[in-house]
Amino acid sequence: MAENGESNRTPVEKFILLFEAAKRSLLAAEELLKRLTADLSALEQDIVGQVQLDERAIGPLLSAVAFVDFAHRFGSIVDALPLVSKSAPELRQLRGTLRSIEDARNHLQHMRGDLSSNEAILYPILGALSWSNGDNSYTVYMSQPAQTAACSIVYDTQNRCWVCQHEYRLKDAAIDLDKVLAEMRNAYRFVSKSISDREFASLRWGKTIAFAFVVNTNMQGFKQAREPLEITAQ
């Protein structure tokens, strides 16, 4: 028995909640990459025309930072799933692909240490986004009060193509966003095979209900409250 008197959760109960969290992390990453792609495409004409982007570059960069966070969260949740073989090729491949995500996330979390060090900071602090479209590769990053260098996507001269479509480069980490999302989907398909309820296993938001409430200072009992008011959804 747990300390609060309730029974401990079974592995199946743990799996259900973790699987749902993994599903929503993947859906969030999909939405972020979709939003990032649209925002970057809208900048192309102005980049060619050398029109100032100013704060319009902030949106896709924030989407890239959020993508890193949700990709990391997805990997952590999948690693914690019971009833699933962690040595499966799909999950090993996911872990390998997420290494660049971990490097980028570590930089974002420990940015203060990098900025406080005596070493020169030559890279964009919030990273640089590069993307390819036909014969062109575009790169965008934010200015900062120091000399800054950013790279474009690598061009494969043998196959005459850009090596990826969307790349987020943060310090020493180069993240192929489309490849990361593809491996997340592949891992999700593998995990979902163990679920008999096909409706629950399908990759979609489903009937998602958002709960919201407002607390007003004139509510009865508010002035006597010493703790946050708790609203329970049934």
Each residue's pLDDT tens digit, 179-232? 999 999 999 999 998 888 888 888 888 776 777 877 776 766 555 555 665 656
The tokens describing 200, both together, are 């629950």
> What is the pLDDT, as a whole number, of residue 14?
92
In a domain, 3, yes or no: no
Flag whether pLDDT at 4 surpasses 60.
Answer: no
Predicted local confidence at residue 230, as pLDDT: 61
Residue 115 included in any domain: yes
Parent domain of 46 = 11-201
Structural domain includes residue 99? yes
Helices 177-192 and 89-97: crossing angle, nearest 10°?
Answer: 150
The beta-strand segments (E) located in 23-150 are 128-133, 136-141
- 193 within a domain of the structure (yes/no): yes
Q: 208 lies in a domain?
A: no
**Would residue 221 count as lying in a domain?**
no
Q: What is the mean pLDDT of residues 62-66?
A: 95
Asked if 165 and 171 count as a contact pair (C-beta separation under 8 A), the reply is: no
Q: Which residue has the higher pLDDT, 142 or 2?
A: 142
Number of domains in the chain: 1
Residue 100: per-residue pLDDT: 96
181 within 8 A of 30, measured Cβ to Cβ: yes
pLDDT in tens, 101-119: 999 999 998 888 888 988 8
- The pLDDT confidence band at residue 154, using thresholds 50, 70 and 90, is very high
Output 219 or 130, whichever has higher pLDDT: 130
Percent helix, percent strand, percent coil in the chain, to nearest 5: 45, 10, 45
- Torsion sign, CA atoms 176, 104, 83, 89: positive
Mean pLDDT taken over the chain: 88
Q: Is residue 206 part of a domain?
A: no
Confidence of residue 1 (pLDDT cuts 50, 70, 90): very low
Out of 9-23, 39-53, 68-82, 200-214, pick the least confident: 200-214
Q: Is the Cβ–Cβ distance between 115 and 121 less than 8 Å?
A: yes
**In angstroms, how far apart are the furthest CA atoms of the chain?**
73
Backbone angles phi, psi at 203, to 5 degrees: -85, 85
Q: Is residue 49 part of a domain?
A: yes
